[in-house]
Structure 1
């Protein structure tokens, strides 16, 4: 009966195993390895599920280094707008002006309906 109690998991055992390898895991993640690949490399030694591994990564590695983002690549800043807006050319007096069509269904002149 004493043998069964010694083999029983205690709260925090797997966390201690994770913390023992945290430097290696952090280095692999910073090198660009996917989280699942890092988990598969260490799964036999950690003896925990992937979801628990991800919780430890997000709370112990990402929470302490907020600039570190695994899923989002860095975004380049937008270029500054030009100092002055481009000038729109205005029609000269010599150019013909385009007439706008306005529809009036009650027009008195039948030519306006065409």
Structure 2
């Protein structure tokens, strides 16, 4: 597979100056200062420079906000789990079966609840 030269030339330039960049960073220079000094030689953007510093110099994994999730975590449901119908009985697929004496939680709004506090607005 051949690569477009324009896509790899920035990485090659960065790797060619990797020792200089590492030395400057170890001396305490900020990334922005190092990039400003080598910008003409690198021909890459500042954000790409930072990605290369993470990948090739510090060795840290970039666990940024755009990573893909491996598993979706679902929040717990407020209702109890439905109990299965005893064998031999037909069960309505639309209705959930709850234990005896349990009701579904419901919200009822009462606009005339008597709350006259003005600081809630």
Give the TM-score taking structure 2 as reference length. 0.45
From the CA coordinates, give the structure whose radius of gyration is larger. Answer: 1
